[in-house]
Amino acid sequence: MPSEEPVLRVRDVRKGYRGGPVLRGVDLDLPPGRVMGIVGENGAGKTTLLRVLAGDLRPDGGSVRHGGRVGHCPQETVLHDAFTVEQHLRFFQVAYGLEDLRGAEELMEALRFSGSRRARPATLSGGTRQKLNLVLALMHDPDVLLLDEPYQGFDWETYVRFWDLAGELRARGRSVLVVSHLAYDAARLDILHRLEGGVLRVADRAADRVADRTGAL
């Protein structure tokens, strides 16, 4: 029986900027093999929380414990215009200490990556850049994947493939944490939280979906 020990445990995380506190004491447990969503309004602190979880920002207080390898896909595509797709993969292969690029190639195939591996990011479409951004976060098969609005720029087909990929990860015992400002993916999630007032609350899925629809009108 697989262990239910959380692969991500967050306790009383607080973070503020000059404008005031953003996170006022976030608690979170992400068990293995779960897809969790965090929704919240613009400016609620979702990206700040994800950056703290990814180790990109130091929290003012509290603790974050990871139980394995972590992958982080930032909201904006962090690629280098001087490097080709192939060079991006090679550099991250060294960073992750991977023997080969088989994992990355499988991911590119799963996401139907259409760009040439000799192309540079500036010549790729927004969606293709985002696919590369995602592959770089996933190619080392992390135990926990942190995703910040990962499907911006994806067409519908790629969006569906992304969720298929998330399902495959879950089936293999990997955990995925997706941050979004909309809750219309709620049906695809095992757990849904809402970040509000600087703290996380278990979200009412039905209410969130109605609110999203109303907001979209």
Binding site for another protein (CB under 8 A): 9, 11-12, 27, 54-58, 62-72, 74, 78-83, 87, 90-92, 94-97, 136, 140, 142
Strand order, beta sheet including 191-196: 70-73, 144-148, 175-180, 35-39, 191-196, 199-202
Q: Quick check: 68 and 146 in contact, CB under 8 A?
A: no
Bridge-based pairing state of the strands 8-17 and 61-66: antiparallel
Name the residue nearer to another protein (CB basis): 26 or 36: 26
> Cα dist. 44→56, 72, 104, 118 in Å?
18, 20, 33, 39
Name the residue nearer to another protein (CB basis): 81 or 109: 81
Smallest separation (angstroms) from another protein to the CB of 87: 7
Name the residue nearer to another protein (CB basis): 68 or 126: 68
Smallest separation (angstroms) from another protein to the CB of 33: 17
Q: Quick check: 177 and 147 in contact, CB under 8 A?
A: yes
Name the residue nearer to another protein (CB basis): 89 or 108: 89
Give backbone dihedrals phi and psi of 130, rounded to 5 degrees, phi first: -65, -35
CA 28 to chain CA mean position, Å: 15
Q: Between helices 85-96 and 126-138, what is the axis angle to 10°?
A: 20
Smallest separation (angstroms) from another protein to the CB of 55: 4
Residues in Cβ contact with 203 at an 8 Å cutoff, skipping those fewer than 6 apart: 39, 183, 186, 192, 193, 194
Name the residue nearer to another protein (CB basis): 45 or 71: 71
Q: Quick check: 115 and 124 in contact, CB under 8 A?
A: yes
Smallest separation (angstroms) from another protein to the CB of 12: 6
Name the residue nearer to another protein (CB basis): 39 or 108: 108
> Cα dist. 121→83, 106, 152 in Å?
8, 20, 16
Smallest separation (angstroms) from another protein to the CB of 83: 6
Smallest separation (angstroms) from another protein to the CB of 108: 17
